[in-house]
Amino acid sequence: MTAAFAGIDIGGQSFKAALVDESAAVLATETVATGASTSLASLSAAISDVVRNFSAVAPITALGCGVAGSVTHDGRLHGCPNLPNLCGVGLADTLQEFLGIPVVADNDAHCHAIAEGWTGSAAGVESFLLVTLGSGLGSGLVLDNKVYRGVTGFGCELGHMIIVASGRLCGCGNRGCLEAYVSEMAIRESVRSRGGDLAKRVDSRLAEGALGHAEVLFGLADDNDDDATSVVCELVEMLGIGLASAINVFDVTTIVLGGGIAPGVIRRLPELRRAMDGALFARSEDAVAILPASTGRWAGAVGAARLAIMS
């Protein structure tokens, strides 16, 4: 029987799990609701249930976890605002003891980047930057086929790069972070602060069954709604400046965009490239490849499993 590895992608409300073999075949998947107030004990029990289910498909060699938060090299959660009861816990060590198999943990965007480099849009690309545009802005930087984690493990938090001095308050407590301008949360703030009827138009489309503020806002902008277009253009410009700044620092020429806001941004690629062009050093925007992420909804879990394979 082939060696199989489990990957868990832990978000604020649920976790996704995938059982993967070394050729990247996905053998099984599960989604488990947890809730933001989940404790280490309840999370461990839920993961244990999934591992038991997966073990019926194939024996599990090791487990990888991706978590929405800062994770130290030894798998301890440091900052995870969406999972307050898990802050400070040694996730990898605890799960390893609980499950009796090797466990590694990393930031969720790092895991997504690993997946894109393994089987996704950046397969075969030695150095690239993955940016996930969702409720927040996550990022994973791969340099010479290795995720850059920095000294502590918190490396490459592009979402918390300051792009406006004394700018908008970010969820991290600082002001002017890229995430405060480019994220689902940022869009809500932009719609609210714009005033007028934009919020009503957004609410009415949300009531019709749209998935989120970003999808609604980009849809309104596609339909030439002036206020929505203005909010979208500001977001795209801020993202372009942020990406260009990252390129100026790290000299990567491939950017992969994932997350729920990415499709809207990809539809506005000319504007994004224009914003980048005004901020790039020593090169023009046409030297940079911008690709949509392609590993889909199991990306984080598959990347976490790959992390376990590589460890």
Residues forming contacts to Zn ion in the complex (CB under 5 A) are 160, 170, 172, 174, 177
CB of 302: closest distance to Zn ion in angstroms? 27
CB of 58: closest distance to Zn ion in angstroms? 40
- Centroid of chain to Cα 75: 18
22 and 309 in contact (C-beta within 8 Å)?
Answer: yes
CB of 172: closest distance to Zn ion in angstroms? 3
**Beta-carbon contacts of residue 240 (< 8 Å; ≥ 6 apart):** 271, 272, 273, 274, 275, 276, 278, 279
CB of 158: closest distance to Zn ion in angstroms? 10
Q: Which is nearer to Zn ion, 175 or 194 (CB)?
A: 175
248 and 242 in contact (C-beta within 8 Å)?
Answer: no
Q: Which is nearer to Zn ion, 123 or 169 (CB)?
A: 169
Q: Which is nearer to Zn ion, 26 or 172 (CB)?
A: 172
Q: Which is nearer to Zn ion, 96 or 135 (CB)?
A: 135
- DSSP strand E in 82-224: where? 103-107, 128-133, 137-143, 146-147
Distance CA 305, CA 62 (A): 8
Residue length, the chain? 311
CB of 90: closest distance to Zn ion in angstroms? 25
* Beta-bridge mates of residue 133: 137
Distance CA 209, CA 213 (A): 11
CB of 264: closest distance to Zn ion in angstroms? 22
Q: Which is nearer to Zn ion, 172 or 289 (CB)?
A: 172
CB of 306: closest distance to Zn ion in angstroms? 28
The enclosing H or E element of 255 equals: strand 254-258
Tokens coding 168: 């908008």
Q: Which is nearer to Zn ion, 160 or 306 (CB)?
A: 160
Smallest Cα–Cα separation from 20: which of 115, 94, 124, 108? 115
Q: Which is nearer to Zn ion, 76 or 160 (CB)?
A: 160
Number of Cβ within a 10 Å radius of residue 45: 11
Q: Helices H, strands E: what count in the chain?
A: 10, 10
